[in-house]
């Protein structure tokens, strides 16, 4: 009986220690398909299995050994200047997308916290490919005032969407990471991604059906991102 009680207490402590979750803007939450994350391990790195389910998709084959991986290739990012990089695959929906991401830290303004560069002091690029189709997202730390203020563009299907940070959470977020990012087009918001673990993706009804897999793939890349270490 004592072991059972302790087990229940342990589960309660785990549940009680759940981290903050992103609160999606109302205009994104309304009319959006939500891709929930399942079976995602807290472990990361070369020896960890970082695969997880993303709604009806599966994020698999995560490879962080970018320095030796011949599959890794992001335009504008050489292996000599890249501070972190990884590749992965998004499977499901009748097609398989291959993703790769890279980042470069601003060495003039790296805010070291436990040896990591702040989100706002990095440039991040992700690219997803399927046959002859390519989609990409680029984020830049444009605001010197906040490590959680990044901005950029997501391009898919010939359309470019504005990307901006979402910082609102259901409880205090003490990490250097923003809660997630939103994607906005000329007609309004088309989606968002939560990068706080475990993560979620919102695909709004304004986003064309054919663009949902590549946007989900790029969102998975942002969810997998880890700030580059400033340690040798």
Give the start-to-end residue ranges of the domains of the chain: 21-224
Is the previous residue joined to 198 through a cis bond, with omega within 30 degrees of 0?
yes
% of the chain with per-residue pLDDT over 90: 56
What whole-number distance in Å separates Cα of residue 130 and Cα of residue 90?
Answer: 10
Q: Kindly tell me the number of DSSP H helices and DSSP E strands found in the chain.
A: 3, 12
pLDDT tens-place string over residues 11-50: 343 444 678 999 999 999 998 999 999 999 988 876 789 9
pLDDT tens-place string over residues 150-194: 889 999 999 999 999 999 999 998 887 899 999 999 999 999 999
Reported pTM:
0.83
What whole-number distance in Å separates Cα of residue 127 and Cα of residue 87?
Answer: 9
The whole-number average pLDDT for the span 72-85 is 60
pLDDT tens-place string over residues 4-18: 333 433 434 344 467
The whole-number average pLDDT for the span 211-226 is 96
- How many residues comprise the chain? 232
Spatial neighbors of 23 by CB under 8 A, at least 6 apart, are 166, 168, 169, 170, 179
């Amino acid at each position: 009986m004592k072991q059972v009680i302790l087990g229940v207490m342990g589960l309660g402590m785990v549940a009680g220690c759940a981290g903050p979750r992103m609160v999606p803007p109302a205009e994104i939450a309304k009319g959006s398909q939500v891709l929930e994350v399942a079976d995602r391990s807290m472990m990361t790195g070369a020896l960890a299995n970082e695969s997880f389910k993303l709604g009806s998709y599966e994020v698999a084959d995560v490879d962080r050994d970018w320095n030796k991986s011949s599959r890794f290739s992001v335009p504008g990012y050489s292996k000599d200047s890249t501070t972190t990089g990884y590749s992965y695959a998004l499977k499901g929906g009748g097609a398989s997308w291959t993703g790769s991401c890279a980042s470069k830290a601003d060495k003039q303004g790296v805010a070291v916290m436990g040896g990591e560069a702040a989100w706002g002091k990095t440039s991040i690029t992700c690219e997803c490919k399927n046959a002859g189709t390519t989609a990409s997202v680029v984020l830049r730390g444009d605001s010197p005032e906040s490590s959680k203020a990044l901005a950029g563009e997501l391009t898919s299907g010939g359309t470019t969407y504005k990307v901006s940070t979402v910082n609102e959470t259901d409880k205090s977020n003490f990490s250097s990471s923003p809660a997630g990012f939103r994607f906005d087009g000329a007609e309004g918001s088309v989606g968002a991604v939560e990068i706080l673990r475990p993560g979620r993706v919102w695909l709004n009804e304004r986003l064309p059906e054919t663009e949902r897999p590549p946007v989900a793939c790029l969102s998975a890349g942002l969810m997998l991102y880890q700030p580059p270490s400033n340690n040798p």
